[in-house]
Amino acid sequence: MPSFHLTISLIALGLFLFLFFAHRTWIRPKPLPPGPKGWPIIGNIFDAPKEKVHIAYMEMARKYGSDLLYLKMAGTSMLILNSTEATNDLFVGRSTLYSNRPRFPMICELMGWDYNFGFISYGTRWRKLRAMFTQQISPSNLQTYEKPRMQESVHVFLNRLLETPKEFENHLRFLSGGNIISSVYGIVANDSDFHDPYIDLAKNALQGLAQAAIPGTYLVDAFPLLKNIPGWIPGARFKRKAAHERKTVEEMIKQPLEFVKRNMASGTAKSSMASRALQQMQDDGSWSEDKENLLMNALGSIYTGGADTTSTVTNTILLALVCNPDILKKGQAAVDAVVGHDWLPGIVDEGKIPYVNALVMEGLRWRPVAPLAVAHHTDNADIYKGYYIPANTIVMGNSWAILHDPATYGEDVDQFRPERFLNPDGTLNSTVPYPDAAFGYGRRICPGRGFAQSAIWLTVASLLACFDLSKVSDKDGVAIEPSTDYIEGFGLYPRPYECTITPRSQSIEKMIRQSVS
């Protein structure tokens, strides 16, 4: 009898091994992309970096001699793309397969960020939301409505810097947030004590998003069924947190649109993306509750997409100018040569000062706000470069690796050097690629990048025209070097730093004050 059971067990084991290896042969005819070996069941959990993830993945890929890096995280396949070639081939060349998003249980299903088309699955709703977004922020609307508004906002920002230069980081945040809510909803930000109710709503919602988006923060992202447990039971604190965050997110996208609708009813609404779109719906009879909800979500995506990122990039450039006085002087000379000393830079000057374009591009490249782009997801298996990519793989573009590739941007990629984008004669060098990776990839690339580029350009040109920037000194008169080691979270953010900001001349100071009179 024991020998009979042993025989049956051996046959079962043999059948299992046959089916296992046959499955590997039939379903996975090619090897997986390079990566650490990992352990049974848990995979590469212990190989996953805990900090400077973008740099760790870049260095790991170099270790394996491949721009593809594959890890298995407790059953979930993850592929990191560390080159422009790979991101173009997959996110652009095979966009139908690689344009989806993974499931975000905490962010989307519990916290309510599924209103934002940047996080939802590729499909009909995504296309409708993106089309609505793109329509509102089209080049014609940008030129007709938004750029003049940007110029007004920048002039207010310059005056605030005159009054309280030490609060420059707050002024930058209010410039960015105020410009967005003005363009999108026609709301004039109240900057008393740097608190505006609408900007604060966006700030609070984005802080919640930043915390929840860090991989591994919430167990529900690994085990989505946990989202169904009651919020009152022990261990379900994440459900209570999500309910609180969901309320903030809903208020953030609903309250500004309600403000616009009230003002339209009373005849006091300022022209904005929201008021123009609602008026068009009324005029052509196309209004419906579903279409208004679609508009609300699209406008909310613009609102949150630009409320934080443009100020971060501008702050990065300001930090670089403080740390590099020679670059500051070159930038000031370039602006002076085109604009002169009798007026402030304006929207008509955009594109006429290549050095400012180079500064913006270098700011986007040197410290990308999102060093690892938001994850893509593939529903079906694929073969690329002779490697097998399983279905349901999370695929991320390592923007840091791409924007710090010495083969593309030079051996000094760790340095802030705008000249890398310029020819010897000072014109833009078309052979050095624009840092598009800072905005994402393929069909998922940020459609608001034109708005962001113009807003950052005008702010940087105005700072160069109007102010001298320098490091502060300690009690012994020694200059204090600001840190360029950024704070990590959902994105990269400059650490708080001090600098001295003074008007370049009395005539420029007078011109700044007159710009808002």
CA gap 319, 335 in Å, rounded: 19
Terminal-to-terminal C-alpha distance of the chain: 101
Contact between 396 and 78 (Cβ < 8 Å): yes
Upper half-sphere CA count for residue 47 (Cβ side, 13 Å): 19
CA gap 398, 53 in Å, rounded: 10
CA gap 397, 270 in Å, rounded: 40
Q: What is the pLDDT of residue 22?
A: 43
Q: How far is CA 212 from the centre of its chain?
A: 15
Residues 6+ apart with CB under 8 A from 143: none
Q: How far is CA 133 from the centre of its chain?
A: 16
Hey, how many other C-beta atoms are within 10 angstroms of the C-beta on 132?
21
223 closest CA partner among 100, 80, 74: 74
CA gap 132, 148 in Å, rounded: 22
Q: Is 323 annotated as a binding residue?
A: no
Residue type, 25: T
Residue type, 444: R
CA gap 134, 116 in Å, rounded: 13
3-state secondary structure 210-262: HHHCCCCCCHHHCCHHHHHCCCCCCCCHHHHHHHHHHHHHHHHHHHHHHHHHH
Q: Identify the bridge partners of residue 502 per DSSP, sorted by sequence position.
A: 468
CA gap 434, 448 in Å, rounded: 16
* Fold exhibited by the domain 124-514: Cytochrome p450 (1.10.630)
Residues 6+ apart with CB under 8 A from 214: 489, 490
Beta pairing class for 500-503 and 467-470: antiparallel
DSSP string, 378-411: ESS-EEETTEEE-TTEEEEEBHHHHHT-HHHH-T
pLDDT tens across the length of the chain (517 residues): 445 444 555 455 555 544 444 444 445 579 999 999 989 888 998 898 888 999 999 999 999 999 999 999 888 899 999 999 999 999 999 999 999 999 899 999 999 999 999 999 989 999 999 999 998 888 888 888 888 989 999 999 999 999 999 999 999 999 998 889 999 999 988 766 677 889 889 889 988 998 888 777 888 988 889 999 988 888 889 999 999 999 999 999 999 999 999 999 999 999 999 999 999 999 999 999 999 999 999 999 998 887 788 999 999 999 999 999 999 999 999 999 999 999 999 999 999 999 999 999 999 999 999 999 999 999 999 999 999 999 999 999 999 999 999 999 999 999 999 999 999 999 999 999 999 999 999 999 999 999 999 999 999 999 999 999 999 999 988 999 999 999 987 789 999 999 999 999 999 999 999 998 7
Hey, how many other C-beta atoms are within 10 angstroms of the C-beta on 296?
18
Q: Which tokens sit at 240?
A: 């209570």
Q: Which tokens sit at 163?
A: 């009054």
Q: What is the pLDDT of residue 222?
A: 81
Q: What is the pLDDT of residue 223?
A: 86
Q: Which tokens sit at 202?
A: 């966006």
Q: Identify the bridge partners of residue 473 per DSSP, sorted by sequence position.
A: 479
451 closest CA partner among 176, 168, 113: 176
